[in-house]
Amino acid sequence: MNLLQLVLKQMRQRALGTWLTMLSVLLGMALACSILILQREGQSMFAQTDYGYDVLIGPPKGSPLQLTLNTVYHLDVSPGVVPYVVYEDLSRKGPPGPGRADFRPFVKQAVPFMVGDSFEGRRIVGTSPRMFGFDDAGQRVTGEAFMYRAGKKYELAAGRAFGAKKFEAVIGSEIAAALHLRLYDDKLTEEQNEAQGGAFRATHGMPGPNETPDIHKPRWHIVGILQPTHTANDRVLFVPFISLYAIAEHEGGMIDQALLRARINPATVKPEQLDGVLASLGIDPGKVPASVKNKFKLVATQPTAGDAHEAHDEQAYDLDAQGDIVPHLPKEEWSLSAVMIQARGPFQAEQLLYNFKLIDDRAAAVNPASVMRDFFSTFLSGTTTVLLVISLLVTVVAGVGILVSIYNSVSARMKEIAILRALGATRKRVLTLICIEAGLIGLVGGLAGLMVGHAMAAVASVYMNRLMGQTINWSLIDTREWKYLAGVVILAVLAGLVPALKAYRTSVAANLVAS
Amino acid sequence: MAIEIKQLIKQYRGPDGSVVPVIDISDLTLADGEQVALMGTSGSGKTTLLHLIAGILSPDSGHIYISEGLDAPVDIGQLPEAARDVFRGRNIGYIFQTHHLLPGFTALENVLLGMSFGGKPSDPAWAKHLLKEVGLSDRLHYKPARLSIGQQQRVAVARALANRPKLVLADEPTGALDSANAQQVLELIRALCREVGAALLLVTHDRDIAAKLSRALVLSELNLAGKKP
């Protein structure tokens, strides 16, 4: 019978105490493990540097963090808008007109990003087919496609990319499964498609649980379903950004935004003063469609839900001969939530950042990687460190548990220890025996804790996927976890040392005679 | 294995600090393979003497030479504690008055435990043979609580012989047994000691038992502790 067999035998003899002590170690380890995973995955998720794009262009006065969270993770609300002309400048392939900036040396690709509406609580993002690797004519773009992560581009699991000026949509994989959406069936009517999940109507904004949803009139046909990206984009419905200008309420909103940019409260503008105010802002009132003016007048005078719906009934767009959307809203009033830029290189990305910081005040530019790194180091990193300290304390408490448990066991086993000594076990052997027992409790409890911690992370991954469309790599056991486990075993052995010393000092003769 | 004790003194310190002499033996020998009874009244130091010979206790002075064949005798009392433990594990089998079996271990495991500290590989076949010899071949996997007192003591006898010791020290091994069981256990001890060629020093109060051994020593006649002026 070797030492290990002896130890296992002793542990089995007092199974309940052994299991309970292991349980306390398990809890400490599981807690520490899940926090280490949270820290690691939080860092990889939020402080990643492998975005497929280098620069985000957003409103001039918005928060960089809000812009990044909103654009990359589809969290929070949009911090404001950037004029569409900025996107035009950034995406222009030919020489700029007089007085217009030339970003061609810096920008490899620019993709528009516009938010504001939702469907069944999921975000609708207005963008261009370029996001999926197609140009406005539906042809696959030559050269490198837009990437949501370094080396990862969107792939369609079914269907095709939407037309740039159609009421069409490409949806994320998670949304398709969760909301039972499918591709539009041409054999069915729009209403039937909507009923069967092949088409949808957008809800204005993201209404709260107690708010009456304000549902827009147009129906978007689902023409493509994306393959999973394991990012927040899996929970998004992508539509052509132009289709969002074809909604009457949005048109009025853009007039409001133009007034607000000029520091004019839209509520103070009387309907009969509107033309004059627009002219003073450099907008030709003759180019603003009647539908927009009517909508502005209705909202300005009687801002009730019912009236707003009446305004919706106004057609805010026309369809040309190809069936493409031609919004009534003049292009000068178009705006976007952000523009995602793939720069030609790191230096060019820096140049862009400086350009919008020092020269061009129409928008602000941020590097999402550095924003998220800062966010992580100032918020997440500190929080997880506090949590880690707590788990460390839990582990130390578990260590004390081992000490108490084995100490009590040794006290109850003084006669047995004396017998072992009488049979020829040296003091060192007895000391080793107790330390192995403590170490085994630490090792088995720690390993079980490691598994439980990862199981908790797996559950969290499913939850996060539902909540944000992000998953975490719950199965990866990194070096820090192995080190922590080693620390737990060492702590357990140290905890076992106190009772082991008691056993070490056992007087054989006294304990044999006393019994 | 032969034992030669010279000028052996062991004293205890009482709670009041006074020195209580327990063992004071000037000369005692035990021949190789000899089976000797050690008799004496309670408190005469029988157990202490066995503990000294086994190396569980170290003497205050004197020598306990243990020799095996042509090897130079070992003075167990002068060995460091760890060396005494190792020596005991390899060469001495000890049978206690009460069985002192480990309650969580089966009969077979208790016997195997006796082999764990002898520095030799575990020999389950020998353990089973010993248990068969003590009449417990059908109780190999019984834990002590499921065995009678007599059976428990027989397991203890088998355990003491597990490591094929050269010396068996038995401290009133039949003290807790009825007469019939006591006779059986005694015969088992003697037979097994003969089988492995071990010397036997057996503490007993029973004259009949003592009479069956080759020699009986009366400790009070040897031990001068408390008798010196």
* A interface test, pick of B85, B96, B157 with most A CB neighbours within 10 Å: B85
Which residues in chain B have their CB less than 8 angstroms from residue A422's CB?
54, 56, 88, 94, 96, 100
Hey, is the C-beta of A149 within 8 angstroms of any chain B C-beta? no
Q: Quick one: which H or E segment has residue A232?
A: none
> Stretch A65-70: mean pLDDT, rounded?
89
**CB atoms < 10 A from the CB of A175, how many?**
25
pLDDT of residue A48: 61
Residue in chain A nearest B51 by alpha carbon: A509
**Set of chain A residues whose Cβ sits within 8 Å of the Cβ of B100:** 415, 419, 422, 512, 515
Does A419 contact B at CB distance below 8 Å?
yes
- Cα gap B143→B109, rounded to integer Å: 9
Residue A311 has pLDDT above 50, yes or no: no
CB atoms within 10 A of CB B56: 24
| Chain B residues touching A429 at Cβ < 8 A | 85, 117
DSSP state of A163: P
Mean pLDDT on A267-283: 74
CB contacts < 8 A, A to B, total 73
Chain A residues within an 8 Å CB radius of B51 = 509
Model pTM? 0.65
Contact A423/B116, CB-based, under 8 Å? yes
With CB atoms and an 8 Å threshold, state whether B51 touches A428.
no
User: Which chain B residue's Cα is nearest to A424?
Assistant: B89
- The model's pLDDT over A280-289, given as tens digits with 9 standing for 90+, comes to 777 777 766 6
Q: Where are the beta strands (DSSP E) in A40-81?
A: 55-58
User: DSSP alpha helices (H): ranges in B71-218?
Assistant: 81-91, 107-113, 124-133, 149-161, 179-196, 207-212
Q: Label residue B52 exposed, middle or buried (CB < 10 Å: 0-12, 13-18, 19+).
A: buried
The CA-atom distances, in angstroms, between A242 and each of A247, A324, B125, B164 are 10, 10, 89, 96
| C-alpha distances in Å from residue B159, one per residue of B154, B176, B199 | 9, 18, 16
Chain A's closest residue to B50, CA to CA, is A509
What is the DSSP-derived secondary structure letter of residue B146? G
Q: How far apart are CA A397 and CA A170, in angstroms?
A: 53
The pLDDT-based confidence of B147 (bands split at 50, 70, 90) is very high
Contacting residues for B84 by C-beta, under 8 A, at least 6 apart: B55, B56, B58, B76
User: What is the residue type of B59?
Assistant: P
Instruction: Output the DSSP codes for A390-430.
Output: HHHHHHHHHHHHHHHHHHHHHHHTHHHHHHHHHTT--HHHH
Question: If you measure CA to CA, which chain B residue comes closest to A425?
Answer: B117
Q: A423 vs B98: CB contact, 8 Å cut-off?
A: no
B217 touches chain A (CB under 8 A): no
Cα torsion angle, A432, A437, A441, A446, sign = positive
pLDDT score of A308 = 41
Task: For residue B57, give the nearest of A2, A415, A509 by CB distance.
Answer: A509
Beta strands in chain B (DSSP E): 2-13, 19-30, 35-39, 61-67, 74-75, 92-95, 167-171, 199-203, 215-218
pLDDT at A151: 82
B57: nearest CA partner in chain A: A509
User: In chain A, which residues have their Cβ closer than 8 Å to the Cβ of B109?
Assistant: 1, 9
- Suggest the residue from A12, A414, A415, A423 to mutate for an interface test with chain B (most B CBs closer than 10 A): A423
Please judge whether A9 and B104 are an interchain contact, meaning their C-beta atoms are less than 8 angstroms apart: yes
Contact B100/A428, CB-based, under 8 Å?
no
Give the closest of B47, B85, B112 to A421, CB-based: B85
Q: Check residue A455 and give its pLDDT.
A: 95
pLDDT value of residue A416 = 84
Angle between helices B124-133 and B179-196 (to 10 degrees): 140
In the predicted structure, residue A243 carries a pLDDT above the cut 80: yes
Both tokens of B78, joined, read: 């002068």
| Average pLDDT value for residue range A349-373 | 87
Tell the residue number behind the tokens 């918020």, with chain if given: A379
Minimal CA separation from B43 to chain A, in Å: 12
List Cα–Cα distances, A510 to A421, B48, B88, in angstroms. Answer: 12, 11, 18
Minimal C-alpha gap between B39 and chain A (Å): 18
H/E segment holding residue B52: helix B46-54
For residue A420, the chain B residues in CB contact (below 8 A) are 113, 117
Q: Which of A22-26, A50-54, A144-148, A296-300 has the lowest mean pLDDT?
A: A296-300
Rounded Cα gap, residues B90 and B69, in angstroms: 15
| B86 interfacial to chain A (CB closer than 8 Å) | yes
Interface membership of A16 toward B (CB under 8 Å) = no
Work out the end-to-end distance of chain A between its first and last CA atoms, rounded to an integer number of angstroms: 25
Q: Tell me how far apart the alpha carbons of residues B186 and B169 are, in angstroms, rounded to a whole number.
A: 13
Q: What is the DSSP letter of A74?
A: -
Interchain pair A425, B116: CB under 8 A: yes
**A313: confidence class by pLDDT, cuts 50, 70, 90:** very low
CA A341 – CA A115 distance, rounded (Å): 17
pLDDT of residue A303: 39
Angle in degrees, CA A372, A376, A377, rounded to 5: 120
Share of chain B above pLDDT 90, in %: 29
Nearest to A423 among B51, B89, B98 (CB): B89
Q: Which of A165-169, A452-456, B150-154 has the lowest mean pLDDT?
A: B150-154
> A2 — contact with chain B (CB < 8 Å)?
yes
Query: How far is Cα of residue B172 from the mean position of the Cα atoms in its chain?
Result: 9
Using DSSP's 3-state secondary structure scheme, residue A248 falls into helix
pLDDT of residue A184: 94
The SS3 call for residue B196 is helix
Most confident of A164-173, A350-359, A414-423, B93-102: A164-173
Contact A9 B122 (CB under 8 A): no
Buried b (16+ CB within 10 A) or exposed e, B139-168: bbebbbeebeebbbbbbbbbbbbbbbbbbb
In chain B, the percentage of residues whose pLDDT exceeds 70 is 97
Q: How confident is the model at residue A306 (pLDDT cuts 50, 70, 90)?
A: very low
Nearest by CB: A427 against B82, B113, B163: B82
What's the pLDDT at A310?
Answer: 43
Taking contacts as CB-CB distances below 8 angstroms, the residues of chain B near A421 are 56, 85
The mean pLDDT value of chain A amounts to: 83
Q: How confident is the model over B100-136, as pLDDT tens digits?
A: 898 889 999 999 988 888 778 888 999 999 999 888 9
Is A424 close to B118, i.e. CB distance below 8 A?
yes
Q: Residues A177-225: pLDDT tens digits? A: 888 999 999 999 989 999 999 999 888 777 776 766 777 778 899 999 9
Residue from the list A419, A429, A509 with its beta carbon closest to the beta carbon of B102: A419
Q: Work out the percent of chain A whose per-residue pLDDT is above 90.
A: 23
Q: Which two tokens stand for residue B40?
A: 């004496």
Residues of B (42-81) whose Cβ lies below 8 Å from A: 47, 51, 54, 56-57, 81
Q: How far is A443 from chain B (nearest CA, A)?
A: 23
The pLDDT tens digits of the residues spanning A464-514 come to: 877 766 778 889 999 989 999 999 999 889 888 888 888 888 777 777 765
| A421: contact with B, CB 8 A cutoff | yes
Report the pLDDT value the prediction gives residue A166, as an integer from 0 to 100. 92
Residues 6+ apart with CB under 8 A from B12: B19, B20, B22
Residue of chain B whose alpha carbon sits nearest to that of A11: B104
Confirm or reject contact between A426 and chain B (CB < 8 A).
Answer: yes
Please report the pLDDT score of residue A301 as a whole number: 46
CB contact under 8 A, B103 and A13: yes
Question: Least CA distance to B165: which residue of chain A?
Answer: A423
The 8-class DSSP code of residue B73 comes to P
pLDDT at B26 over 70: yes
The pLDDT value given to residue A292: 62
List all residues 6 or more positions away from B5 whose beta carbon is below 8 Å from its beta carbon: B25, B27, B28, B29, B53, B62, B63, B64, B65
Closest by CA to A81, choosing from A373, A363, A321, is: A363
A13 neighbourhood in chain B, CB within 8 Å: 103-104
* DSSP symbols for A295-360: HHHHHHH---HHHHHHHHHS--EEE-TT--EEESS-GGG-EESEEEEEESSHHHHHHHHHIIIII-
The answer to whether residues A355 and A89 touch, using CB atoms and an 8 Å cutoff, is no
Weakest mean pLDDT among A66-70, A97-101, A153-157, B157-161: A97-101
pLDDT of residue A307: 41
Helix, strand, coil percentages (3-state) for chain A, rounded to 5, are 55, 15, 30
The per-residue pLDDT for range A387-411, each reduced to its tens digit, is 788 878 888 887 888 888 878 877 8
Assigned token pair, B128: 């089973």
